[in-house]
Amino acid sequence: MVSSGWTFWRQGQRLGQQLGRNRGLAALLAIGLGVAVFLGGCSADQIRVNSARGSQLVVAGVDPKTFNYLLSQEVPNVFNRIYSGLLTEDGITGELSPGLAESWEVSPDKLRITFTLHEGLKWSDGAPLTADDVVFTFNDLVFNEKVPTSNRDALRIGQKGLLPQVRKIDDRRIEFISPEPFAPLVRAIAGGTDSGVAILPKHILEKTVRETDSDGQLKFLSTWGTNTDPSKIVGSGPYVMSSYTPNERVIFQRNPYYWRKDAQGNPLPYIERLIWSIVDSGEASLMQFRSGDLDVAGVGAATFSLLKKEEKRGKFTIINSGASGGASFITFNQNQGKRNGKPLVDPVKSRWFNTLAFRQAVAYAIDRRTMINNLYRGLGEPLNSSISVPNPYHLPAESGRIRVYDFDPEKSKKLLLDAGFKYDNQGQLFDADGNRVRFTLLSVAGGSGNNQLEAQLQRDLERIGIQLDLQLVTFNVLLDKTSQSLDWECIRLGFSDPDFDPNGGTNVWQLDGRLHMFNQSPSPDKEPIEGRVIADWEARMAQLYAEGAQTLDETKRKEIYAQTQILAQENLPFINLVNSLSMVAVRNDIQGVKPSLLKGTFWNIYELKRAKS
């Protein structure tokens, strides 16, 4: 999951917390197991040699899937380091402050927003950055229906999903015109690369949306893949990519044309180089951090006790920011449509997945407390809401208004029996037509502490007679199945929620949203789906999110989003699991760290400093 929307957490790692998160499809789900920040590619000797050439940070990342910002569907990614939005969102307070725009003005009727760019802005290649780039980014890219991007979802306004108009006033001023009042409009447009839209270079990309390839597709869709020389990718953020070695590392260098300066007029960022190393082993990352070759590490339940004992000797501090932002879940493919006459989901299984009592029975069968005690070492809480705990709009279970699925296998069995399912004398579950209840859970190989969580889900469902088969794949395979082929039955994943406004989740709840994965509409460039069915509660969720965005009164907005959480927890498009603590270990000589539950540990990387030893 791509900005302007929630993102998927990529399982097995916890990288999104180190460098900030981008909104869109997918990300890191460490589930508090300590399979944390990874380091690979560079040897320790290489890193130490490079360190002598200037200040740097060594962090861990995953192999990029694309260098095209609008096509990205995962976090962590490179984009919040190489791009800027019109405004900047403070990771602690959520307040908006100048970004590429030095100021903005909202009209009294709340329908017009005028942004004024800083004078003398430049792209990383030295070309001028002007209002033409802003208008191009929105009108030619984000609003282009031929470009499959989640950025568009958060900017759809009202029940009709209309998009704002964007026009250039002069070289430094741009006006956005909304068809009706839209509470999150400023943030959705301009809240930086996390909450808004990153501005892209017209002088580089314009021709890619004017030309098509031999298949009739926009050339933009094949532009800036990972086979592109990263030094050729033009941005406006604090860093530029200087090199990329697949499966090894991405190296970023300070952008000499970055627009931001400190109070004394010194150019930012302070730190010259960022090394993002790529490996696939949590054990290796822990070893590298403990040996001093990694500057930051996500801390999970399995590694907390070990690292806590080493804080003084290792010259680092473990920062506990509290409940993490995001949601871990399982979800069923409820899409009843067909593609080329073939059902996306086996009709027998589709009937199960579209039966509310079945989904509720599965929810009651999951032993979250055992999951927390055994896998999270007690460092987590059951998750009971579709809006993450740190979000100001979160409706807690303690309110008594939201349904809670405490572990109760007997209640599960009763729900199933009342819905027409049957048990044989061996306790195996069958549907009313005699079909054995058996389906496949798709998940990322190596995630969740070597897939211990998936193994527990398998045992939990066995208690109520369901046979759960595990299919463990790479993240990219999983991403293709959820967003392209739609060939899956049940998935274990997570959403990252980097937003202070619930409208950031609209790409999950809009009927054509790019993360409406439990009943996904096809991408414009994919084969159509015939016979897709929209449930009443599903349509109501989309309607509530539209109403929440239209409502300007904050008290009324909170109640609308409370209703969305109640409705989601009742109907279970996503069966939520556990919310882990957000903990990270950071070297003591890194100054200016302000951990954010929603934005990550290094969301303010442009102002971090490295103390001289």
pLDDT at 497 (0 to 100): 64
Burial class (CB in 10 A: 0-12, 13-18, 19+), 148: buried
Give the N- to C-terminal CA distance of the chain in Å, as an integer: 40
* Residue 434 placed within a domain: no
Element (H, E) at 323: strand 316-323
On whether the CB atoms of residues 181 and 557 are closer than 8 A, the answer is no
pLDDT at 54 (0 to 100): 58
On whether the CB atoms of residues 191 and 42 are closer than 8 A, the answer is no
pLDDT at 379 (0 to 100): 83
Residues with Cβ within 8 Å of 600's Cβ and at least 6 positions away in sequence, in order, are 16, 17, 18, 19, 20, 21, 91, 498
Residue-wise over 336-362: b if at least 16 C-beta within 10 A, else e?
bbbbeeeebbeeebbbbbbbebbbbbb
What does DSSP assign to residue 605?
A: G
Element (H, E) at 117: strand 112-117
Beta bridge partners of 590: 610
Residues with Cβ within 8 Å of 235's Cβ and at least 6 positions away in sequence, in order, are 82, 83, 84, 123, 124, 201, 255
Q: How many distinct helices (H) and strands (E) make up the chain? A: 19, 27
Number of domains in the chain: 1
| Polymer length of the chain | 613
Residues with Cβ within 8 Å of 484's Cβ and at least 6 positions away in sequence, in order, are 523, 526
pLDDT at 548 (0 to 100): 92
pLDDT at 613 (0 to 100): 58
CA-CA distance, 193 to 578, in Å (whole number)? 27
CA angle 218, 219, 225 (to 5 degrees): 125
pLDDT in tens, 411-437: 999 999 999 999 999 999 999 999 999
Q: Are strands 438-444 and 490-496 parallel, antiparallel or unpaired?
A: parallel
pLDDT at 124 (0 to 100): 98
Element (H, E) at 370: helix 368-375
On whether the CB atoms of residues 577 and 329 are closer than 8 A, the answer is yes
* Residue 357 placed within a domain: no
* Residue 77 placed within a domain: no
CATH number at residue 132: 3.90.76.10
pLDDT at 245 (0 to 100): 95
User: Within the chain, which residues score under 50 in pLDDT?
Assistant: 1-53
* Residue 181 placed within a domain: yes
CA angle 389, 394, 396 (to 5 degrees): 80
Is residue 179 reached through a cis peptide bond, with omega within 30 degrees of 0 on the bond before it?
no
Torsion of CA 406, 411, 412, 414, to 10 degrees: -170
Tell me the residue range of the domain where 155 lies. 87-209
Provide the residue type at 577 as one letter.
L
* Residue 39 placed within a domain: no
* Residue 176 placed within a domain: yes
* Residue 244 placed within a domain: no
On whether the CB atoms of residues 73 and 18 are closer than 8 A, the answer is no
Provide the residue type at 104 as one letter.
W
Backbone angles phi and psi of 395, in degrees to 5: -100, 110
pLDDT at 198 (0 to 100): 96
CA-CA distance, 308 to 8, in Å (whole number)? 29
Classify the C-alpha dihedral 493-328-193-561 as positive or negative: positive
* Residue 187 placed within a domain: yes
